[in-house]
Structure 1
Amino acid sequence: MLNRLLITGAAGQLGSMLREKLQGRAAILRLSDVADLGEAHEGEELVPCDLSDGDAVMRLVEGCDGIVHLGGISVEKSFDLIEAANLRGVHNLYEAARAHGRPRIVFASSNHTIGYHPQTARLDHSAPYRPDGYYGVSKIFGEAVASLYHDKFGQESALVRIGSCTPKPENWRMLATWFSHDDFVALIEAVFRAPVLGCTMIWGASNNDHGWWDNSHAAFLGWQPKDNAADWAEEIARTVPRPDPDEAVARYQGGVFTDEPIHRS
């Protein structure tokens, strides 16, 4: 069991879910965000922190022996906003980890690093980047920082390219991209349990019949996702209109992000 597990972005949708589901997986959960985290429960420490503040991040990471990094901006925004939260923030996190004994990191990357690949393609870990916006570019930067710190300093990271991590699949695209909460928790457990991790990219998706991504390169982790978006296919067919094949959401793996304009301000 980990002694102190840090979760950044703990007030967000995924952070709030992991705050609940990772209780008992570490002696202490250190929870951080710029947003309100409410009251601390038993076994929790609340440490507000702006990831763009390097000194604050250095203090945040001290004493942690594991990190789940969800913090930053998770949608398409202007470059200035993304630069501060996602680029400077991930640099500060990795510098702090290097200074404090290199605790293993689960880095929440994204399918938007490869968003312009067509939905007809099946991708493995060697697929080239095709980001669909500044958000996707920021996650590529984060993966590159993780790779650098692994090669230069021995920092281990799991780069989890999250698909659609929701309680259940909500639309046709999610029949391929859905990543159940339970499968995400099981992946985190496998990452911290593995004797050796290295710097490994993992597609964050459940065992979906219609999935686009091949995780065979990460089989050494012993992680086997159990949930399947196909269990919801009939409900989606009944309640969600099927998009036109020419729409971005039906053409590209990044879905509607590929149709968004660049945010100038």
Structure 2
Amino acid sequence: MNITSSSHMYSRLLLTGAAGGLGQVLRPRLKTRCDVLRVSDLSNLGEAADGEELRPAALQDRPAVMQLLQGVDAVVHLGGISTEQPFDDIVQANIIGAYNLYEAARIHGTRRIVFASSNHVTGFYRQDEVIDANQPVRPDGYYGLSKAFGENLARFYFDRYGIETVALRIGSSFPEPKDRRMLATWMSYDDLERLVVASLSSPVVGYSVIYGMSDNHHVWWDNTPAKHIGYRPQDSSEPFRAAAEARQPILDLNDPAVIYQGGGFVKAGPF
């Protein structure tokens, strides 16, 4: 990977999905890690801060994505649809868009991508199971299916072309857990930054998959196979437990959203 000679990690870093919830969190934090931060989205990106380049682009627009990757050393790819939606919508941004991004990275020589995958890649494992990234995927919907495609695409582009990827199976990153499920899946914004920075800065990552969660007391995911990334979460959902349990004092143990790790995604649709 191309490391800048300054104190920054990269010369030019691309952040897609920069206008989304997590994109807005990471945008100012990633700017401190590179000489130039190129930000992209279809939604309003606001004004460019010092050291930023604004490049709106639709991921399914191949020529636009080809231009977007020009001169980029590494990518934090948050762009695309992040909720369960009809397949015809998801396929454009999440499947065609992912292909366009990786193909543009190959052509322009971008060597590392941090890919925002999702815990919904394995959403049909049960909440009474603990799994790691070496177990087979079990997507809980079209969104999870598209992220499973993205992970396989990333593996192919590493095996064939040497483009390194860290696929982040992000749990639930919000200011605090919204319900009891999120006591297991929650990741603080500070831990999100730690995870992304570790994924960008680890000397060798090859193709790696890691679950994005804080140091929660109850977890469903074992990140032992991704210890080489160097991610060490420092926050926990435990201070929010009482409030989450008060909001949801009783669980219906026959509800698929309670049985399976994907929560409500396992019963979203049909559309």
**Could you tell me the TM-score, scaled by structure 2's length?**
0.94
Q: Tell me, yes or no, if structure 1 residue 28 matches structure 2 residue 39.
A: no
* Residue of structure 2 in register with 1:158 after alignment: 166
Paired residue type of 2:46: G
Asked if 2 retains the 8 angstrom alpha-carbon contact of 1:133 and 1:262, the reply is no
1:30 to partner: Cα distance:
0.5
What are the Cα deviations for residues 230-259 of structure 1, in whole angstroms up to 9, with x where unaligned?
121112223344331222221110000111
1:116 aligns with 2:119: no
Secondary structure of residue in 2 paired with 1:37: coil
Q: Is there any run of 5+ residues in structure 1 with no aligned partner, and where?
A: none
| Equivalent residue pairs, number | 263
Other structure's SS at 1:206 match: coil
Contact persistence 2:111–2:162 (CA under 8 A): no
Q: Hey, what's the Cα distance between the residues in 2 that align with 1:20 and 1:240? A: 34
Which of 38, 44, 59 is matched with 2:52 structurally?
A: 44
Regions of 4+ moved over 6 Å: none
- The answer to whether the aligner puts 1:58 opposite 2:66 as a matched pair is yes
Aligned residue in 1 for 2:203 = 195
TM-superposed CA distance for 1:188, in Å, is: 1.3
Alpha-carbon deviations, 1:59-97, whole Å to 9, x = none?
Answer: 001111110001010111111111111000000000011
1:73 aligns with 81
Matched to 2:89, the amino acid is L
Aligned CA RMSD, in angstroms, stands at: 1.1
1:181 corresponds to 2:189: yes
TM-score (norm 1): 0.96
Alpha-carbon shift at residue 129 of structure 1 (Å): 1.2
Q: Which residue of 2 aligns with 1:250?
A: 258
Q: 2:154 aligns with which of 132, 138, 146?
A: 146
Matches within 5 A, 1:188-227: 188-227=196-235
Q: Which residue of 1 aligns with 2:4?
A: none
**1:137 and 2:137 correspond:** no
Deviations along 1:190-233, one digit per CA (max 9) or x if unpaired, are 11211111010001111111011000111112211111111211
Identity %: 49
Indicate the SS of the match to 1:147.
helix
Q: CA deviation at 1:262?
A: 2.9
Q: Distance in 1 between matches of 2:127 and 2:28?
A: 34
Report if aligned partners of 1:172, 1:242 keep a CA contact under 8 Å in 2.
no
Aligned-partner Cα distance in 1 for 2:29–2:248: 30
- Structure 2: gaps spanning 5 or more residues: 1-8
Q: Give the letter for the 1:57 counterpart.
A: V
230-239 or 154-163, larger mean C-alpha shift: 230-239
Q: Contact between 1:243 and 1:249, CA under 8 Å: does it hold in 2?
A: no
Q: Secondary structure at the match of 2:208?
A: strand
State whether residues 64 and 103 of structure 1, in contact with CA within 8 Å, keep that contact through their aligned partners in structure 2: no
Further displaced range: 174-183 or 15-24:
15-24
